Amino acid sequence: MNGLFTFEAAARCGNFSRAADELNVTPAAVSRMIARLEEHLDTALFVRRPGGVGLTESGRLLFDAIARGFSGIENALREIEDRRIGIQTVSLSVSTGFTTHWMMPRMPEFKKQFPTVDLRFQLVTGALAGPVNDVDLGMRFVNGSDERHEAAFIMPEILIPICSPSYRESHGLDGGEVKRTPDTTINLSDAQPNWSTLFSPANEGDAVNSMIFSDYAIVVQAALLGQGVALGWLNVVAHWLRAQTLVPAREQLMTTSRQCHLIRLRDKPARAIVTQVRDWMIAELNDDIVAVDKLYPDLGLGPESWSKI
């Protein structure tokens, strides 16, 4: 066990000296312990480099397993503490946009439904990606379950050009949809949607100003404030479309081959409360989609159409 603890610290720090400081031993002691572990396994775990170390393929395999084990122990300790004080904790890996613009407006309803549950958020500011090793649930665009993850389907990846009602009214043609080239578009820096598929210029000379942000929560906030037209990921903006605080700039949508799921690691104990929170989120999102579909039937958002996407 000492060898595994030492290995985990060295792998995480990428440096024997930093691992030694963390473990309150000498770098030589760390080096000896790693050498003994490698001798026991009869394989190299680290590649020694100037200024640090890197993991071999075998080292990466061992580190991933230890990290999952530590995460499981941490979750068990947290659940024991939660049971003692009568509070259950559910951790979510979701985007800042989803947290700000979908989850936060629903927190009063969530608290009514789950009065003894505390939510903890691991926020993703850019593209929705990354591991879900340290959380109960993660929202990701994946194709479904795999050997490591269990996935619960929410919806296809659907994007709609969105703006505030006031922007649409002031920039529309005869008070209707926003003209084909909006004067300002609001973009996410690490996602480059093809605006021409949604907005064909009315004439070749039209110019489009652009605001670019690295955080999608700010993109949506700018649209709410009437600053321009943004692409709205439906899983994020469904609440505002339902409330008509945001409206489609044009009743068109873009779909991709990706699918939005809530995923969890298979080797993490399946707590009943996590399943309940997951099912509540999916049901609430589906309710939003049904409501938006009734408001804007020309979009064709009904779940019955998803099999055709």
- Per-residue pLDDT tens for 96-115? 999 999 999 999 999 999 99
What the block records as the tokens of 247 is 């409206």
Beta carbons within 10 angstroms of residue 252's beta carbon: 16
The DSSP code sequence of 160-200 is EEEE-HHHHHHHBSTTSSBPSS-SEEEEETT----GGGT--
Size of the chain, expressed as the number of residues it contains: 309
State whether residue 142 is helix, strand or coil: strand
The CATH 1.10.10.10 domain(s) of the chain lie at: 2-69
Cα–Cα distance measured from residue 157 to residue 233, given in angstroms and rounded to the nearest whole number: 7
Please state, as a whole number, how many other Cβ atoms lie within 10 Å of the Cβ of residue 300: 16
Ranking 183-192, 200-209, 282-291 by mean pLDDT, the lowest is 200-209
Euclidean distance between CA atoms 179 and 229, whole angstroms? 11
Q: Is 214 helix (H, G, I), strand (E, B) or coil?
A: coil
The residue with greater pLDDT, 62 or 302, is 62
Please give the single-letter amino acid code of residue 224.
L
All CATH 3.40.190.10 domain ranges in the chain, comma separated: 157-258+288-308
pLDDT computed for residue 226 by the predictor:
92
pLDDT attached to residue 133: 82
CATH 3.55.50.30 fits 157-258+288-308, yes or no: no
Residues 12, 137: Cα–Cα separation, whole Å: 23
Model confidence pLDDT, tens digit, residues 12-60: 888 889 989 988 999 899 999 999 999 999 999 998 888 788 899 999 9
**Is 74's pLDDT higher than 90?**
no
78-99 per-position pLDDT tens digit: 777 777 776 788 999 999 999 9
How much is the pLDDT for 145? 87
DSSP characters over 242-292 = HHTSSEESSS--EEEEEEEEEEEETTS---HHHHHHHHHHHHHHHHHHHHH
- Fold exhibited by the domain 2-69: Arc Repressor Mutant, subunit A (1.10.10)
Distances (CA, A) of 63 to 16, 143, 148: 15, 27, 16
